[in-house]
Amino acid sequence: MSKKRIAVLAGDGIGKEVMPEGVRVVDAAARKFGIDLQFDTFDWSSWDYCEKHGQYMPDNWKDLVGGHDAIFFGAVGWPEKIADHTSLWQSLLLFRRDFDQYINLRPARLMPGIIAPVVRRDGTPRQPGEIDMYIVRENTEGEYSAVGGRMFNGTEREIVMQETIMSRHGVDRVLKFAFELAQKRAKKHLTCATKSNGIAITMPYWDERFAEMARKYPGIKTDKFHIDILTAHFVQRPDFFDVVVATNLFGDILSDLGPACTGTIGIAPSANMNPDRTFPSLFEPVHGSAPDIYGKNIANPIGQIWAGAMMLDFLGHKDAHDAILSTIEKVLDPKSGAPKTPDIGGKASTTDLGKAIAAAL
């Protein structure tokens, strides 16, 4: 198979600590499965770069990474020095928009050794594997549009508006992705997040396109819930869900809630994907730069490592993805005696845990 080029952008804070472990494990998997990978490391998309150059990324960032097969991303943000909306809009959000990464995909899976904050109805703890779902979020349009404005500022007549944009192209492509994903899963169950009772123009359209797409996938069991009760179900019976598809706003909320139901933020991964492969896709942990723990080498590297596994899957190496995931599960199992970082009840360092996973693989 041809060489795959990975652009590595560690970013800020603990991004710089977890990224080496992400690369270590992806590299170990590549050697095990005979995947030819080249890692190109860039120091931009960081406050360190911004401090010297006045912006988070160089003007020619698209030329520098646009030809890569994937972007392996750490975290951005250094709130002490720069406002979060500035750092985010100068980096991560540019990738999502300009590289048309229209799918945001997040798995939520309860891992061994992690205590889920949500228990069963009878009060007993949820067991590993009992929560195992994917949240598919539309990542380019919907409620997060720049169409709107503000008038009569500061007067009694002040008005603000911001429009939801749904295009048939945009809606259909995310629905198709979700149906295709559900097709590959054992349960073959897809849930549609909606709010067509209250948002009476765009959401009925979303439901209509969902129903239309469902006709092409007769093997998939489908259902739909309004977003309000859906969030309650996530907490009360997360085991019910398999794949959940949602618009940008609802997906944003569900893709934090889902992983939150499975324990620590330190292990959750996220993919910003351009399934058409016109542009590189970006793989990152869910967490941010965590300034409160940066510099101590205690951040959990599993979110970064799992994101690396999703990247290998996207590059056509499901075997490598599955091997990394089962290794993470083995290492997290309390019976393994493997090192754990403090967020999951241990005393080990970021490096110890990364090395343990690479070695076990």
Q: Which residues bind ligand NAI (CB under 6 A)?
A: 14, 18, 75-77, 79, 84, 88, 92, 265-266, 284, 287-293, 299-300, 303, 343
Shortest Å, Cβ 127 to ligand NAI: 23
Nearer to Mg ion by Cβ, of 141 and 252: the residue is 252
Shortest Å, Cβ 350 to ligand NAI: 8
Site for Mg ion in 253-272 (CB under 5 A): 256
Angle (CA) 115 118 119, round 5°: 90
Nearer to ligand NAI by Cβ, of 106 and 317: the residue is 106
Cβ atoms of residues 136 and 178 within 8 Å: yes
Out of Mg ion, ligand NAI, none, which partner does residue 343 contact, by CB within 5 to 8 A per kind? ligand NAI
Cα–Cα distance for residue pair 20/74, rounded to 1 Å:
10
Among 12, 252, 284, 352, interactor with Mg ion by CB under 5 A: 252
Out of Mg ion, ligand NAI, none, which partner does residue 172 contact, by CB within 5 to 8 A per kind? none
If binding means CB under 5 A, how many residues of this protein chain bind Mg ion?
A: 2
Applying CB under 5 A, which part among 30-38, 95-103, 143-151, 252-260 lies near Mg ion? 252-260
Q: In sequence order, which residues have a C-beta less than 8 Å from that of residue 146 and are 6 or more positions away?
A: none
Nearer to ligand NAI by Cβ, of 299 and 331: the residue is 299
Q: What are phi and psi of 132, to 5 degrees?
A: -155, 90
Cα–Cα distance for residue pair 96/158, rounded to 1 Å:
32
Under the binding rule (CB under 5 A), the answer on residue 138 touching Mg ion is no
Strand 37-42's sheet: what is its strand order? 37-42, 4-11, 70-75, 281-285, 269-273, 103-109, 132-138, 243-246, 189-194, 221-226
Q: In sequence order, which residues have a C-beta less than 8 Å from that of residue 42 and are 6 or more positions away?
A: 7, 8, 9, 64, 65
Nearer to ligand NAI by Cβ, of 192 and 273: the residue is 273
Out of ligand NAI, Mg ion, none, which partner does residue 252 contact, by CB within 5 to 8 A per kind? Mg ion
Give 155's DSSP letter. S
Under the binding rule (CB under 5 A), the answer on residue 284 touching Mg ion is no
Nearer to ligand NAI by Cβ, of 17 and 242: the residue is 17
Chain residue at closest Cβ approach to Mg ion: 252
Helix (H) or strand (E) holding 301: none
Cα–Cα distance for residue pair 189/158, rounded to 1 Å:
46
